[in-house]
A = this chain, B = another copy of it.
Amino acid sequence: PQGAETTVGAARAETIADLMTPPVGVFGPQATVRETTEALREQVKTAFITYLYVVDPANRLLGLVVMREMLLAQPDATLESVMLRDPFALKADLPLGEALKQALHKHFPVYPIVDAQDRLVGLVRGSDLFANRAIEISGQSGSMVGVDKEERLGTSLTRSLKLRHPWLQVNLLTAFVAAAVVGVFEDTLSRLVILAVFLPVMAGQTGNTGCQALAVTLRGMTLGDVKPGAEPGMVRKEGMLGFLNGGLVGVTAGAGMFIYARMQGEASPLTMAGVVFLAMLIACTVSGIAGAMIPMILKRLGADPATASSIFLTTASDVASMGIFLTLATLML
């Protein structure tokens, strides 16, 4: 196995065919173990052969022979009699992410690749596939905040700047939306400056609740845990968690507001605490639902579900948290 090599540039592959090498160790079903062994003796001089592949005259993959069976078989036995039938194979046009999911629990050193007619068209080394997978998955938390999966520690400063900067400008535009919402309530804020002090608390807390929902949902998608039809249940669960977490955190945050408002000599500290509690409860529910739905929507639109998901989520949760907080304050105070 020490002969295995990792394909340089594999990180940029998009379908399984991009990682493929031509098939080697291919034989007919009637070849005997003896004649196959003799043929192999020549072939190994120029190729790295791990398994043997048995194909019919139309090149359709019939089976796979492991070397151990070759060693232990009678020399006159045919390959057909020692092969594993219907071996696991990957389709050549599979997107890489899908191929990785299918291969995750196999971990074979080499995978055969077949076309739509089950014809053997190539081989892919597991090390290439999985080096790729680790690189792919580990890029997810970056993707969420607008870091391209291409960026690694060795990426130059100017290239990093070029890759990351556009998303920061997008983030700024979405932040302006949140600012516009706050701007609507300038009158309330000028009347009660204490509310401005609690704006970052509301926004930060709601955002983090939503990020938890987002991370769990994305992870489920990555590991292939999401069963068809499971989406509504996931959204409901995250909404309920947002409600419960928002309620519990709302109690602490409301207590914080009560103490601070009393210290500042505000007129109605208890009502203020109530506004904080209620806003936290509602905003965290909204943010939990948004955290679960955003990657699902991105996926349905054909995009990578992680891409900039955190930026979209922050916008939703900023608008919800500060909008609800200031609306309630305007109505109740």
Give the B-binding residues of A (Cβ under 8 A). Answer: 1-2, 4, 6, 37, 40-41, 44, 49-51, 66-68, 70-72, 84, 87-88, 104-109, 125-127, 130-131, 133-135, 137-142, 144-147, 151-154, 157, 160-161, 164-165, 167-169, 171-172, 174-176, 178-179, 182-183, 186, 189-190, 193-194, 196-201, 203-205, 208-209, 211-212, 214-216, 218-220, 222-223, 225-226, 230, 234, 237, 240-241, 244-245, 248-249, 252-253, 256, 260, 310-311, 314, 318, 322
CA of A179 to CA of B260 in the docked complex: distance in angstroms?
A: 11
For A160, the chain B residues whose CB sits under 8 A away are 216, 237, 241
A-B contact list, 6 entries, CB within 8 Å: A107-B131, A138-B219, A152-B223, A153-B216, A153-B219, A171-B204
Report the nearest B residue to A36, measured CB to CB. Answer: B71
Chain B residue with Cβ nearest A196: B196
Beyond A127-B107, A215-B145, whether A161 also contacts B245 by CB under 8 A is yes
- Knowing A137-B137, A140-B141, A252-B172, the reply to whether A318 touches B200 (Cβ < 8 A) is yes
Q: Decide: A134 and B135 in contact? CB cutoff 8 A.
A: no
Q: Check if B105 sits within 8 Å of A157, measured CB to CB.
A: no
- Chain B residues with Cβ below 8 Å from A208 are 145-146, 167-168, 171, 310-311, 314
Q: Out of B49, B105, B215, which one reaches A127, CB within 8 Å?
A: B105
Q: With a CB–CB cut-off of 8 A, which chain B residues contact A70?
A: 67, 71
Expressed in whole angstroms, the Cα–Cα distance for A218 and B134 within the complex equals 13
Q: Contact partner of A260 among B2, B183, B230, CB < 8 A?
A: B183
- A109 / chain B contacts, CB cutoff of 8 Å: 1, 107-109
